[in-house]
C-alpha cells in the first residue's frame, strides 16, 4: 500500500499523487456509495495493480476542508497581490487574511510585479511606507517577486514543499504566472487528463491540485469574492495579530477597540504603531459582523 494525496476526481477516476507520480485510481466497491465525499487534498492509501493503475483502499480523516474552493487538508494559502497594475486592494487582502486565519490556515503574502513596480517608482518621487513593510511588521510571511524575471521565486517555492497550498487573490494579480514561474518546464504530469476527459461528462467548477515545486497547489479562480465567515466581534479582533497582542492592555476586557476609552489599540494607532488602513478595515469588518449578529 502507498500513501498519497487525491489531486482530483474526474470521469469516474481519481488521480492520486504518490511516490512522485500521478496514479489513475478507481475505488474499492465499498467506497462507491460515498463517491462525492472525496475531495482534492484527501490523504488516501492506494494499492497499485499490474497495469500501473491503482485502487483507493482507505481515506484518512480530514484536518480541515475549505468550502470554496473545495479542498481538504489545506496547510497554507498563498495570497497573491500585484505591487502595481493593479494596485493592491488592501481591503480584500485583509478580508482574505481573516478568512484564512479563521480557518486555521497559514497565510503567505506574495506581492508580484516587482519588476514593474521598480520601473514605476523610478519616475515617482513621493514614497508612502511600503505596503510590504506594513504586513511584515505585523509578523506575516511576505515575499516580493517578479514572475517575469524570476526574482524571489525560489524563496516562495521553498515554502511549498510537501505542503498543500491554495493560491488566492484578485484576477490579474499574477496567480497563474506565479504557478508557471514556480514549475519551470514541468508541464504537469496530469497533462494526459485532457485527452481522457473527452469521453467524460462535462464537470463544472472542478477543483484540482497540481504538483508544483515539490508540493501541491490549487490555482483557484473563485477565491476573490469573499464574505467574512461567521465571526463574533472578539474573534474578528483575534484575526488581527497586532490587535490581539495588545488587547490585554485595553481598559475593558470586552473592548472592541471602537468607541471605548483607554483602548490600547487606538493608542497604538495614534503612535503610528498600527497601520491606519488596517484599523480602517477593522472598523468596516466590525460593522459587518455587528449587522450579521442583528440578522440572526
Ligand atoms: N511585469 C510583470 N507582469 C506580470 C507579473 N506577473 C503577472 N504578470 C502579468 O499580469 C497579467 C495577469 O497575470 P495572470 O497570471 O494571468 O493573473 P491571474 O489572473 O491572477 O492568474 C498577465 O498579463 C501577466 O503576464 C510580474 O511579476 N511582472
Ligand atoms: Mg489565472
Ligand atoms: Zn481596545
Mutate to test the pocket of ligand 1, among 147, 152, 180, 223 (most ligand atoms within 8 A of CB): 147
Give me the residue label for grid cell 496567480: 175
Using the atom order of ligand 1, give the atom closest to the CA of residue 173: 20
pLDDT of residue 226: 53
Grid coordinates given for 104: 486555521
The pTM score is 0.88
Strand partners, 168: 79
Quick check: helix, strand or coil at residue 294?
Answer: helix
For residues 130 and 176, membership in a common domain is answered with yes
- Dihedral pair phi/psi, residue 213, rounded to 5°: 50, 45
Structural contact between residues 236 and 214, judged by C-beta atoms closer than 8 angstroms: no
- The predicted-structure confidence for 107-163, as pLDDT tens digits, reads as follows 999 999 999 999 887 766 545 558 999 999 999 999 999 999 999 999 999 999 999
Residue 228 lies in a domain: no
- What local confidence, expressed as pLDDT, does residue 35 receive? 52
Ligand 1: residue whose CA is nearest its atom 2? 113
Phi, psi of 141 (to 5 degrees): -80, 120
Look at residue 111 and tell me if it is in a domain: yes
For the ranges 72-86, 157-171, 227-241, 247-261, the lowest mean pLDDT is seen at 227-241
Select from 189, 223, 257 the last residue of a domain: 223
Which of 62, 90, 110 is a domain's end point? 62
pLDDT(198) > 80: no
What is the Å distance from ligand 1's center to 202 Cα? 28
Span from the CA of 177 to the centroid of ligand 2 (angstroms): 7
CATH of the domain at 209: 3.40.50.300
Residues with CB under 6 A from ligand 1: 112-113, 115-116, 146-148, 171-177
CATH number of the domain within which 54 lies? 2.40.50.140
Please report which confidence band the pLDDT of residue 225 belongs to, taking 50, 70 and 90 as the band edges: very low
Task: Look at residue 27 in the predicted model and tell me its pLDDT.
Answer: 86
Same-domain check for residues 155 and 212: yes
Note whether 79 and 185 are same-domain residues.
yes
Q: How many distinct structural domains can be found in the chain?
A: 3
Distance of alpha carbon 90 from alpha carbon 285, whole angstroms = 13
Same domain, 32 and 167: no
Pair (73, 57) in one structural domain: no
pLDDT at 102: 86
Which three cell numbers mark 153? 521565486
| Cβ–Cβ under 8 Å, residues 54 and 47 | yes
For residue 189, how far is its CA from the centre of ligand 2 (angstroms)?
Answer: 19
Euclidean distance between the first and the last CA atom of the chain, given in angstroms as a whole number: 49
Q: Which domain holds residue 280?
A: 233-295
What's the confidence (pLDDT) of residue 30?
Answer: 65
Mean predicted lDDT score pLDDT of the chain: 86
- Verify that 152 and 121 share a domain, yes or no: yes
Question: What's the distance, CA 158 to chain centroid?
Answer: 16
Q: Pick the residue whose CA is nearest to atom 23 on ligand 1.
A: 172
* 220 compared with 198, residue with greater pLDDT: 220
The string of pLDDT tens digits covering residues 10-65 is 888 999 999 999 999 998 776 655 555 789 999 999 999 988 899 999 899 998 88
**Quick check: helix, strand or coil at residue 26?**
strand
Judge contact between 114 and 131, C-beta under 8 A: no
Among 62, 90, 114, the domain-final residue is: 62
Instruction: Report the C-alpha gap between 199 and 11 in whole angstroms.
Output: 8
Amino acid at each position: 500500500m502507498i500513501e498519497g494525496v487525491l489531486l482530483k476526481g474526474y470521469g469516474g477516476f481519481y488521480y492520486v499523487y504518490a511516490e512522485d507520480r500521478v496514479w489513475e485510481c478507481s475505488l474499492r466497491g465499498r467506497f462507491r456509495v460515498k463517491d462525492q465525499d472525496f475531495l482534492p487534498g484527501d490523504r488516501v492509501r492506494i494499492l497499485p495493480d499490474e497495469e500501473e493503475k491503482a485502487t483507493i483502499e482507505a481515506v484518512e480523516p480530514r484536518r480541515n476542508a475549505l468550502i470554496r474552493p473545495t479542498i481538504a487538508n489545506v496547510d497554507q494559502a498563498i495570497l497573491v497581490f500585484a505591487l502595481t497594475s493593479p494596485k493592491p486592494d488592501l481591503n480584500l487582502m485583509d478580508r482574505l487574511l481573516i478568512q484564512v486565519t479563521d480557518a486555521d490556515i497559514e497565510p503567505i503574502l506574495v506581492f508580484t510585479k516587482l519588476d514593474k513596480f521598480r520601473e514605476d517608482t523610478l519616475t515617482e518621487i513621493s514614497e508612502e511606507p511600503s505596503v510590504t513593510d506594513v504586513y511584515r511588521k505585523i509578523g506575516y510571511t511576505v515575499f516580493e517577486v517578479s514572475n517575469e524575471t524570476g526574482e524571489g521565486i525560489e524563496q516562495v517555492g521553498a515554502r511549498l514543499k510537501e505542503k498543500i497550498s491554495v493560491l488566492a487573490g484578485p484576477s490579474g494579480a499574477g496567480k497563474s504566472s506565479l504557478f508557471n514561474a514556480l514549475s519551470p518546464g514541468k508541464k504537469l504530469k496530469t497533462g494526459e487528463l485532457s485527452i481522457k476527459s473527452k469521453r467524460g461528462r462535462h464537470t463544472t467548477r472542478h477543483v484540482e491540485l497540481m504538483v508544483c515545486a515539490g508540493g501541491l497547489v490549487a490555482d483557484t479562480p473563485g477565491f476573490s469574492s469573499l464574505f467574512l465567515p461567521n465571526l463574533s466581534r472578539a474573534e474578528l479582533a483575534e484575526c488581527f495579530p497586532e490587535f490581539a497582542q495588545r488587547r490585554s492592555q485595553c481598559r475593558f476586557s470586552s473592548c472592541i477597540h471602537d468607541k471605548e476609552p483607554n483602548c490600547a489599540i487606538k493608542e497604538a494607532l495614534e503612535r503610528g504603531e498600527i497601520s491606519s488602513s488596517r484599523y480602517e478595515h477593522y472598523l468596516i469588518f466590525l460593522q459587518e459582523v455587528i449587522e450579521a449578529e442583528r440578522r440572526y
